[in-house]
Chain A
């Protein structure tokens, strides 16, 4: 995206991303919060939005890091979040465009798309790899419960996307260059 593509040094970038990760991860998993509605999934959407706005290796790397955070904070095992984050970051990088119109269109498509894919895959995995195989578990029930909460999850994640974009705009805002009209007169 042209507005938030300011090239900055690697250390400045690391600082911006580290602050972003700590603030957003803390907000997402704050104990006692988000009791009435689902929490915005910042760690899921971070690689997507960074991939869409910055492309290249940044989406890929941020996918790995935010995925590791997911695994560390509340995962059943290490690696699942990282793999998911990496794939999202790579895919988002493929959809990178400097054209603002195309960017917004893709963001609006990919945000719900990624949320839907994430929710379905995780529901399926929690059925295929149950915590305690001795306890009864029904796939239909899992899918039904997932679908019931889906609209609110989608809404929360759209909100998360807006917040992430705002933070990225703060960190990488680039002023538009003024082009002087140099066409010769006479």
Chain B
């Protein structure tokens, strides 16, 4: 069977269009949101639907397999048992969501100067250069990320997850704490002054650890210490829990001290997140 290959002219045209898109969307204040706004309207519900379908199918099959042993013994109760288990599973999801919301209420009292918006993780990251994850909060929810404005993202236990990278109409992309492009000014909890930097590191990413560097001499950092945000820089309020020190690295040549931090947030297993919106910050593109 002879199949037609695309014409050279079309390939060249498409390549030029893609390169133009790449340049345009890499610029600050670019057209990236316009492309994604329309696409997201159709695609996000489809993905959520497919994922919900997969979840229910998984629940159904696991319920069936668990009931198989009982089937031989108590044939009468089989259907009832299966239904009850199915119901429990659904209720467990509801209880989990309720717990997350309850925790969010505590979060609200802690960061009272901020508006807290709760959302759900739509998808995880894919790999290098495709390393952001997406949440279902966007400009419609009052989140306007610009080149000089971002928002902290927390989990329900008040732990830092990352910050927003871009916002579209109904969704946003999150730069996670472990990413090599992420950094935050931090300090040892309950200590005054002596701020240092915590950042993602390629070297420790696979071990699910962050690196604390630029630690001033004499800073009392010990294994097990809780590291929190210092509040410097304006983006993150003071006191957000980042993680705990698991290892101290001393460079004998430069006499510099570094520390490995295990994030408190279970980044890989996140389902719900909370975005802190500080309305006192300059609004940028808001309302446009």
- List the interface of chain A (C-beta within 8 A of B): 5, 7, 22-23, 25-35, 38-39, 41, 43, 54-57, 60, 64, 68-83, 86, 90, 93, 96, 98, 119, 122-123, 125-126, 130-132, 134-135, 137-138, 141-142, 145-146, 148-149
Shortest distance in angstroms between A32's beta carbon and chain B's nearest beta carbon? 5
Instruction: Report 20 cross-chain contacts, Cβ distance below 8 Å, ordered by A residue.
Output: A22-B46, A23-B50, A31-B124, A31-B270, A32-B269, A33-B124, A35-B268, A43-B126, A56-B3, A57-B6, A72-B40, A72-B43, A76-B129, A78-B25, A125-B128, A125-B129, A126-B180, A131-B182, A132-B182, A135-B180
A138 to B179, CA, bound (A): 14
Q: Which of B4, B129, B271 contacts A75 (CB 8 A)?
A: B129
Across-interface contacts of B158 in A (CB, < 8 A): none
Q: Are A132 and B183 in contact (CB under 8 A)?
A: yes
B54 on interface, CB distance cutoff 8 Å: yes
Q: Find the A residue at minimum CB distance from B199.
A: A135
* Minimum Cβ distance to chain A for residue B166 (Å): 9
Q: Does B187 contact A (CB under 8 A)?
A: no
State A119–B125 Cα separation when bound (angstroms). 15
| Closest A residue by C-beta to B20 | A79
* Given A26-B50, A30-B54, A74-B133: A142 in contact with B125 (beta carbons within 8 A): no
A29 touches B129 (CB 8 A): no
B18 interface residue (CB < 8 Å to A)? yes
CB pair A86 B14 closer than 8 Å: yes
Q: Check A74–B6 contact: CB distance below 8 A.
A: no
Please give the distance in Å from B232's CB to the nearest CB on chain A. Answer: 15
Rounded to whole angstroms, the CA-CA distance of A25 and B21 in the bound complex is 22
Q: Mark B147-185, 1 if CB is under 8 A from A, else 0.
A: 000000000000000000100000001010001111100
**B122 lies within 8 A of chain A by Cβ:** yes
Residues on the A chain within 8 Å of B4, using CB: 56-57
Chain A residues with CB under 8 A of B140: none
Determine whether the beta carbon of A126 is less than 8 Å from that of B51. no
- Residue B9, interface by CB 8 Å: no
Report the 7 A-B pairs with minimum CB-CB distance, sorted nearest first.
Answer: A131-B181, A56-B3, A79-B22, A29-B123, A122-B128, A26-B50, A79-B21
Evaluate contact between A32 and B268: CB separation under 8 angstroms. Answer: yes
Per the bound structure, the CA–CA distance linking A174 and B241 in Å amounts to 58
Q: Is the CB of A29 within 8 A of B124?
A: yes
For the complex, is B1 an interface residue (Cβ under 8 Å from A)?
yes
In the complex, the answer to whether B132 meets A76 with C-beta atoms within 8 Å is yes
Main secondary structure, interface of A, reads helix
CA distance A79 to B32 in the complex (A): 10
* Complex Cα spacing A18 to B46, Å: 11
Cα separation A121 to B6 with both chains bound (whole Å): 25
Most chain A CB atoms below 10 A, which of B1, B19, B269, B271 = B1
- Rounded to whole angstroms, the CA-CA distance of A75 and B168 in the bound complex is 13
Question: With A79-B22, A83-B22 given, is the CB distance from A29 to B179 under 8 Å?
Answer: no
Determine which of A22, A32, A69 lies in contact with B270 in the assembled complex, contact meaning CB atoms within 8 Å: A32
Contact flag A83-B18 (CB < 8 Å), given A73-B126, A93-B5, A138-B202: yes
Q: Which of B202-258 contact A (CB under 8 A)?
A: 202-203, 205-206
Are A77 and B26 closer than 8 Å at their CB atoms? yes
Q: Considering only CB atoms, which chain B residue lies closest to A33 in the complex?
A: B124
Q: In the complex, A71→B21 CA distance in Å?
A: 11
In whole angstroms, how far apart are the Cα atoms of A125 and B131 in the complex?
Answer: 13
Contact between B181 and A31, CB atoms less than 8 A apart: no
